[in-house]
């Protein structure tokens, strides 16, 4: 399996270089999907969630020049959550204004009675944890053989006995155990690297990203 690039922890700093396509691809794969999935769970349809994600990414691009890797500072996803929360608020305000312009009081009344899901940090944090794990799985799945991945998934995730998985895959029990151990170690390392890359500061400002988050 490939080693984690030494630059992984500074992913958000690498975004300053607009020509670093690999950094932006990795960022969108991890954080873009996080924003989209959260927006969908907040009740937005596919197109609206995609549009909101684009707005958030534009906000990140506008602030990218102030991103600095700093393990002592706050978490990037907390700043990102503030940005998402504001964009959601703007979207819902626009939805409420839409029917009013049409002169349809019945439609307006229905919309006013609908309770939007709470925009809470716990739900965002849970979505982040799910996204990081899915992202890490996708990275590892590309780097291992099909039998190695199946040995890991069936034993570690599905809870099947090692012996039965080994017989089904034509492997020894020791090989299944080694595959599970290697994949788990790689997943843990990727998850750790994703968390490490989040500690940033905004050119020494405290709290971090305070100016951008309020824009």
- Residue 191 tokens, joined: 């998850």
Q: Are 27 and 12 in contact (CB under 8 A)?
A: yes
Give the whole-angstrom CA distance, residue 46 versus residue 62: 25
Predicted confidence (pLDDT) per residue in 150-201, tens digit: 999 999 999 999 999 999 999 999 999 999 999 999 999 999 888 877 765 4
The dihedral through the CA atoms of 35, 37, 38, 41 has a sign that is: positive
Indicate the pTM of the whole model: 0.70
Token pair listed for 182 = 């290697």
- Residue whose tokens read 């270089």: 17
Supply the mean pLDDT for the chain.
Answer: 78
């Amino acid at each position: 399996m490939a080693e984690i690039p030494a630059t992984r922890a500074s992913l958000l700093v690498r975004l300053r270089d607009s020509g670093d396509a690999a950094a932006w691809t990795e960022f969108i794969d991890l954080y873009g999907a996080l924003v989209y999935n959260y927006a969908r769970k907040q009740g937005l349809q596919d197109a609206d969630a995609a549009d909101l994600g684009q707005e958030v990414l534009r906000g990140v691009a506008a602030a990218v020049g102030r991103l600095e890797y700093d393990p002592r500072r706050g978490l990037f996803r907390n700043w990102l959550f503030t940005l998402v929360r504001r964009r959601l608020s703007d979207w819902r305000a626009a939805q409420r204004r839409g029917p009013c312009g049409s002169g349809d009081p019945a439609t307006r009344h229905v919309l006013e009675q609908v309770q939007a899901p709470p925009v809470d940090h716990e739900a965002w944090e849970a979505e982040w944890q799910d996204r990081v794990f899915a992202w890490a799985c996708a990275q590892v799945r590309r780097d291992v053989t099909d039998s190695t991945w199946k040995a890991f998934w069936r034993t570690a995730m599905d809870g099947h006995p090692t012996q039965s998985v080994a017989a089904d895959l034509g492997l020894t029990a020791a090989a299944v155990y080694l595959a599970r151990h290697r994949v788990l170690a790689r997943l843990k390392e990727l998850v750790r690297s994703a968390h490490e890359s989040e500690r940033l500061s905004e050119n020494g400002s405290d709290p971090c990203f305070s100016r951008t988050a309020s824009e």
